[in-house]
Amino acid sequence: MRDRPRRRALVTGSTSGIGLAIARRLAQDGVHVVAHGLGSAQENAAALRDIGEAAGGGAAEFVEADLRDRHAIARLMQDLNDGGGLDILVNNAGMQRVAAIDRFVPEDWDDMLAVNLSAAFHTIRLALPGMRARGWGRIVNIASVSGLVAAAGKAPYAATKHGLVGLTKAVALETAREPVTCNAVCPGWVLTPLVERQIQSLASGEGLSRDAAAARLLGAKQPSQAFVRAEDVAAVVSFLCSDAAGEVRGAAWNIDGGYVAA
């Protein structure tokens, strides 16, 4: 039997946290990974090395684009399409600011809307024609439990993540009769730099130790009282990118220690 050509994936925001775990896992699965992020030069180089090691010494690429800028996204996608296109697109990059809506900085709203939602709209619309032409594709959007339920202080985060789940469902319906799928993954608390910043801000705001602040975050919302592991989120993504998941369409798959069951 002839070997299938190596699949190529873009994982946005894969210089740290969940995105890095997804990039590593897809590399282990034999996928050629294009890593992306806005980390420091050191972080970007370390991530690329990490992903290359996960690939067993195989090659990985690194690309940079500020996802707040739709022209930068268009240039990035043009380069990727010129270089062979994408079989897998994982929209993972995201940002979070927490504040009551009447104290929320309007510029932060603009940035969150751009990175958490509009970026996925642009990458999907620009990746889909190539997937269709090649007859196979997988799109996975990393949403959040905040795409399914809301929390006070997270109006922009909940709005963008609910939007991302809606975008996912609509794209899944537009591709329902094609060998291209689109799904969302909705993690609860995962211990990554994004959440560590929230723990530190809770600790300093409330005069708590770091561990007491972490326990309070989990205690309030996540019945398991344990953080989800980034590697386990990556395993769900790996499944959604497999041939076996060909009829999983428009799902918003929670992995959350019971967060949305409560």
CB of 162 to ligand NAD, least distance (A): 12
Using CA atoms, how far residue 231 sits from 102, 117, 121, 250, in Å, is 36, 24, 26, 22
Is 92 or 123 the residue whose CB approaches ligand NAD more closely? 92
* 88-91 sheet: strands from edge to edge: 61-63, 32-36, 8-11, 88-91, 137-142, 180-187, 252-255
CB of 48 to ligand NAD, least distance (A): 12
Is 31 or 117 the residue whose CB approaches ligand NAD more closely? 117
What is the DSSP pairing of strand 180-187 with strand 61-63? unpaired
- Given 157, 189, 253, 259, the catalytic residue: 157
Is 137 or 187 the residue whose CB approaches ligand NAD more closely? 187
CB of 11 to ligand NAD, least distance (A): 9
Backbone angles phi, psi at 159, to 5 degrees: -65, -45
Tokens at 30, concatenated? 């034999």
Is 72 or 132 the residue whose CB approaches ligand NAD more closely? 72
CA atoms within 13 A on the CB side of 54: 23
Which residues are near ligand NAD by CB under 6 A? 13, 15-19, 37-39, 66-68, 92-96, 115, 142, 144, 187, 189-190, 192-195
- Cα 191 to chain centroid distance, Å, stands at 14
What residues form DSSP beta bridges with 142?
Answer: 185
Backbone angles phi, psi at 188, to 5 degrees: -85, -150
CB of 171 to ligand NAD, least distance (A): 17
Q: Tell me the residue type at 40.
A: S
Is 39 or 137 the residue whose CB approaches ligand NAD more closely? 39
What residues form DSSP beta bridges with 10?
Answer: 34, 89
> Catalytic annotation on 259?
no
Element (H, E) at 89: strand 88-91
CB of 29 to ligand NAD, least distance (A): 19
**Maximum CA pair distance of the chain?**
63
Query: Active-site positions?
Result: 157
